[in-house]
Amino acid sequence: MFPDSRGVSPSVFAEIIQDGLQLWHEHRIPIIMSTLFVLGLLRIYLHSTDDRTGPQLKSKLDAKVTSKIASVGRDEKPKFVIAKEEDSEDSKSTETGNNRKSAKQGPRRIRGDINRKTRGSTEPGTEEHKIQVLVFYSSLTASTEKITRTFTQELAASLGCSAEGEHLSRFLPPRILDLAEIDFDEYFITPPKSETESVDHFYLLVIPSYNIDSINDTFLEHLQETHHDFRIDTSPLASILGYSVFGFGDREGWPTEEEGFCFQAKDVDKWMAKLSGRKRAYPLGMGDWKRDGKERLLEWRSGLVDVLKQLEQTGFLGEGVPGSGDPLESDDEEEAEDDGEVMIDDVPASKAAKGRSSGSLEDVEDIGRIMELSRTDDSAKKPAPPLAIDFTIEGKQAVKKAATVTVKEMVPKSSPTYAALTKQGYSIVGSHSGVKICRWTKSALRGRGSCYKFSFYGINSHQCMESTPSLSCSNKCVFCWRHGTNPVGTTWRWVVDPPKLIFDGVKENHYKKIKMMRGVPGVRAERFAEAMRIRHCALSLVGEPIFYPHINEFLGMLHGERISSFLVCNAQHPDQLAALQHVTQLYVSIDASNRESLRRIDRPLHRDFWERFQRCLDILRERRFRQRTVFRLTLVKGFNIEDEAEGYADLVEKGLPCFVEVKGVTYCGTSTSSSAGLTMANVPFYQEVCDFVVALERALRKRGLEYGIAAEHAHSCCILLASERFKVDGKWHTLIDYDRFFELLEEKGPDGDFSPEDYMGPPTPEWATWGNGGFDPRDQRVDKKGRPIEAA
């Protein structure tokens, strides 16, 4: 054997190889396994580091290719970037002369990008961010300029900063800018940028209208072109915090909006909604410079200050209802909705609440919470709650029985009723009260008409709160879609919430819901401002308000704030009715004219329902010179219309109410109204309601009763018969003098001796009287699709 060049002989070399092979054969499996294991670990490691950078990269890329940002959530803070196509791969390849050259030559694209919140960044709502209000105006004959200057100074003062530069809050002194002098590109393609500090902008635009060529036309053209420019995102101003527009016009020359009143402010509002990605922060204000201009502007300013202060605290505009911020009013009028009256609906509540657990007490914590609730009854420091109160049994027996009953919440959060009611837009307050914005309140906010109570009694729907302190009822009326899940009972056997808790809760939730309407197109600034003061309360939502043991205290709180009370009861609780103190108007639902019909339609839980009903009528008769009493008849075809006029006339003769309201049942959806089997066929036509009312009036006259048809509201299928006590000098006086009512109440107390005539209002307006339709002439009537309906 010869050693090789490195001094190892071939035989030794062969031996080494052989040893190696043997080693491999003996240990190959663990070697392969360990290698695979190490490779696996390596792969996992590499993958995880890739994950950490991947999504960021991906989101950046996603954001880059996003060309539309209209869908940016109201709570995401968009930021603008100018895409630099020169830096892209494409542009590099164009430099090398390949056929993608055109990509480089394309225009620079300006677009919105979502600024994802990262820790440590200066987000809105943090100290570092300043808020700059920019007040733009145009003015031909100088009045707008003058008024806008004063407005801006006052706004600065309200925001805690002065126009001179000294500012105590996060607000920089508002800047005033003449549209005729600025470069639109500087403000209306992207908001201006500050070199020195982080600034968010809020735009206000005060725009008079001119039907001649003016700077307004150039401005509007610019907004429109920016929106349509394919190089620019459709919402390049989405990074502003919000905007609002105020218009000046002249009603002498342009009396209505259809005739051009403030038409350019409306246009600016529309384009700003598009460019800002639906950032309308406050409704479009409009004022007649000769009449109410200053007043409207003041109102607008005060609403804006609230919004701006909220922005200062939270950085965001807050919640809105669907449609908030849209450029234009939706064409569809809202579906018919419960207006506190009765209606047929095709959504059985049980369906809505599917899957939720039962409403029973579930654990010890619940009991503890209930005891806590009961202890917070600071209203009268009465020991009553949480004892169950039995309305049906009097004397000691009742107390004995009550003491043995377990006290539950009427509508626990976990119950199907809670789920069903909240899904329908009700806010549940405490454990047994509710509040909801009715469709007429929304309609009045948008100038689309108020409910019949405006035509009959002068109630502004946008200042009306619909609520109840008891969601429970003792009937299961066929037209009530809620049966199946709503609590029913003949006795109050639940925890009793204190009246103050309910009063504060319903108001808070009502205002919250009104505020959510702020960004809805078509909402009128002056109505919105008025709506922030509740003037009326319709205690007629769902359930039976006088079921609530502290109803009188609750009424006292309403009246204490000069909120009128329209209370509807179901004529099943005579004792509570007898104990009821003054309300502005007291209703009793009269759903049928005879025992059998009442059983069929109301499906009462009380066995002595007819006797209770009769006793209620007696009480009403006794009270007719102390309370303003009303019979409410709800007509359901096939149930309580046919041949019943005479029967109803008998009931009117018994109760002698001040008024009889007749209303066709409301339809909503393609009803089968679940177990009741009601359909659209049960909804009477307006003409049928009219025929019934004429027959009823005749039947009353036949009995020598002095009633007449006083008013109508065809839009909601409702007609009012009134006692001639409310006819003065041949004119109906169905309106109410609310101020007088409160004066009398303050003077004479809640049990005081005063009569409905003492607070009778001025004559019923001509347009509301029988034969004139009853639609509020201030408003625009629309059909179900939101199209204007011309007056007949």
Ligand X SMILES: Cc1cc2nc3c(=O)[nH]c(=O)nc-3n(C[C@H](O)[C@H](O)[C@H](O)COP(=O)(O)O)c2cc1C
Binding partner at 583 among ligand X, ligand SF4, none, C-beta below 5 to 8 Å by kind = none
- If one asks whether residue 457 binds ligand SF4 (CB under 6 A), the answer comes out as no
Between residues 138 and 461, which has the closer beta carbon with respect to ligand X?
138
CB of 253 to ligand X, least distance (A): 6
Between residues 444 and 649, which has the closer beta carbon with respect to ligand SF4?
444
CA atoms within 13 A on the CB side of 447: 20
Binding partner at 432 among ligand SF4, ligand X, none, C-beta below 5 to 8 Å by kind = none
Maximum CA pair distance of the chain? 145
CB of 181 to ligand X, least distance (A): 14
Rounded to the nearest 5°, which phi and psi values hold at 247? Answer: -115, 140
> DSSP characters for 34-50?
HHHHHHHHHHHHHHHHH
Pairing of strands 707-713, 666-668: unpaired
Between residues 247 and 320, which has the closer beta carbon with respect to ligand X?
247
Between residues 202 and 261, which has the closer beta carbon with respect to ligand X?
261
Residues near 342 by beta carbon (within 8 Å), at least 6 away in sequence: 477, 479, 480, 634, 665, 666
Residues near 652 by beta carbon (within 8 Å), at least 6 away in sequence: 631, 660, 696, 700, 705, 707
Binding partner at 142 among ligand SF4, ligand X, none, C-beta below 5 to 8 Å by kind = ligand X
- If one asks whether residue 207 binds ligand SF4 (CB under 6 A), the answer comes out as no
Between residues 200 and 339, which has the closer beta carbon with respect to ligand SF4?
339
Pairing of strands 199-208, 731-732: unpaired
Binding partner at 129 among ligand X, ligand SF4, none, C-beta below 5 to 8 Å by kind = none
| Distance between CA atoms of residues 245 and 593, nearest Å | 54
Would you say how long the chain is, in residues?
792
Name residues contacting ligand SF4, limited to 42-71 (CB under 6 A): none
- If one asks whether residue 464 binds ligand SF4 (CB under 6 A), the answer comes out as yes
* Sign of the Cα pseudo-torsion (141, 147, 153, 159, in order): negative
Stretch of 46-54, 103-111, 321-329, 435-443 lying at the interface with ligand SF4 (CB under 6 A): 435-443
Between residues 296 and 510, which has the closer beta carbon with respect to ligand X?
296
- If one asks whether residue 440 binds ligand SF4 (CB under 6 A), the answer comes out as yes
Any idea of the CA torsion for 607, 613, 618, 619, to the nearest 10 degrees? 100
The alpha-helical segments, DSSP class H, found in 246-356 are 263-275, 293-314, 349-352
Between residues 264 and 461, which has the closer beta carbon with respect to ligand SF4?
461
CB of 747 to ligand SF4, least distance (A): 27
Between residues 441 and 593, which has the closer beta carbon with respect to ligand SF4?
441
CB of 534 to ligand SF4, least distance (A): 10
| Distance between CA atoms of residues 558 and 513, nearest Å | 19
- If one asks whether residue 441 binds ligand SF4 (CB under 6 A), the answer comes out as yes
Stretch of 28-36, 326-334, 461-469, 552-560 lying at the interface with ligand SF4 (CB under 6 A): 461-469
Among 299, 345, 409, 466, interactor with ligand SF4 by CB under 6 A = 466
Cis peptide before 322 (omega within 30 of 0): no
Binding partner at 453 among ligand X, ligand SF4, none, C-beta below 5 to 8 Å by kind = ligand SF4
- If one asks whether residue 438 binds ligand SF4 (CB under 6 A), the answer comes out as yes
- If one asks whether residue 342 binds ligand SF4 (CB under 6 A), the answer comes out as no
- If one asks whether residue 451 binds ligand SF4 (CB under 6 A), the answer comes out as yes
Q: 315: exposed, middle or buried (C-beta count within 10 Å: 0-12, 13-18, 19+)?
A: middle
Residue 709 bridge partners (DSSP): 721
Among 112, 124, 173, 340, interactor with ligand SF4 by CB under 6 A = 340
CB of 487 to ligand SF4, least distance (A): 22
Residues near 598 by beta carbon (within 8 Å), at least 6 away in sequence: 591, 592, 604, 609, 610, 613
Stretch of 51-59, 228-236, 451-459, 479-487 lying at the interface with ligand SF4 (CB under 6 A): 451-459
CB of 683 to ligand SF4, least distance (A): 17
Q: Quick check: 534 and 510 in contact, CB under 8 A?
A: yes
Binding partner at 262 among ligand X, ligand SF4, none, C-beta below 5 to 8 Å by kind = ligand X
The residue number with the shortest CB distance to ligand X is 249
| Distance between CA atoms of residues 371 and 376, nearest Å | 9
| Distance between CA atoms of residues 753 and 582, nearest Å | 10
Stretch 286-325: interaction string toward ligand SF4, x if CB under 6 A: ----------------------------------------
Q: Quick check: 763 and 735 in contact, CB under 8 A?
A: yes
> DSSP characters for 117-146?
--TTS--TTSTT-EEEEEEEE--SSSHHHH
Q: 10: exposed, middle or buried (C-beta count within 10 Å: 0-12, 13-18, 19+)?
A: exposed
Between residues 453 and 715, which has the closer beta carbon with respect to ligand SF4?
453
Binding partner at 210 among ligand X, ligand SF4, none, C-beta below 5 to 8 Å by kind = ligand X
Q: What single letter denotes the amino acid at residue 80?
A: F
The contact set with ligand X (CB under 6 A) reads 139-145, 208-212, 248-250, 253-254, 260-263, 289
Binding partner at 441 among ligand SF4, ligand X, none, C-beta below 5 to 8 Å by kind = ligand SF4
Between residues 253 and 777, which has the closer beta carbon with respect to ligand X?
253
Pairing of strands 433-436, 427-429: antiparallel
Between residues 140 and 336, which has the closer beta carbon with respect to ligand SF4?
336
DSSP letter at 494? B
Between residues 147 and 782, which has the closer beta carbon with respect to ligand X?
147
Binding partner at 610 among ligand X, ligand SF4, none, C-beta below 5 to 8 Å by kind = none
- If one asks whether residue 453 binds ligand SF4 (CB under 6 A), the answer comes out as yes
Between residues 444 and 617, which has the closer beta carbon with respect to ligand SF4?
444
Between residues 215 and 352, which has the closer beta carbon with respect to ligand X?
215
**Count of beta carbons in the 10 Å neighbourhood of residue 97:** 8
How many chain residues are in contact with ligand SF4, going by CB under 6 A? 12
Stretch 509-548: interaction string toward ligand SF4, x if CB under 6 A: -----------------------------x----------
Question: Which residue matches tokens 């009427």?
Answer: 410
**Count of beta carbons in the 10 Å neighbourhood of residue 695:** 17
Helix (H) or strand (E) holding 744: helix 738-748
**What six digits make up the tokens of 504?**
């504060």
| Distance between CA atoms of residues 696 and 692, nearest Å | 6
Question: Which residue matches tokens 């968009």?
Answer: 78
Binding partner at 140 among ligand X, ligand SF4, none, C-beta below 5 to 8 Å by kind = ligand X
Among 113, 312, 333, 339, interactor with ligand SF4 by CB under 6 A = 339
**Count of beta carbons in the 10 Å neighbourhood of residue 656:** 19
Q: 663: exposed, middle or buried (C-beta count within 10 Å: 0-12, 13-18, 19+)?
A: buried
Between residues 437 and 571, which has the closer beta carbon with respect to ligand SF4?
437
Binding partner at 438 among ligand X, ligand SF4, none, C-beta below 5 to 8 Å by kind = ligand SF4
Between residues 139 and 640, which has the closer beta carbon with respect to ligand X?
139
- If one asks whether residue 209 binds ligand SF4 (CB under 6 A), the answer comes out as no
CB of 338 to ligand SF4, least distance (A): 9
Binding partner at 249 among ligand X, ligand SF4, none, C-beta below 5 to 8 Å by kind = ligand X
**Count of beta carbons in the 10 Å neighbourhood of residue 702:** 10
Between residues 141 and 196, which has the closer beta carbon with respect to ligand X?
141
* Sign of the Cα pseudo-torsion (538, 541, 546, 550, in order): negative
Query: Would you tell me which residues interact with ligand SF4 (CB under 6 A)?
Result: 339-340, 438, 440-441, 451, 453, 459, 461, 464, 466, 538
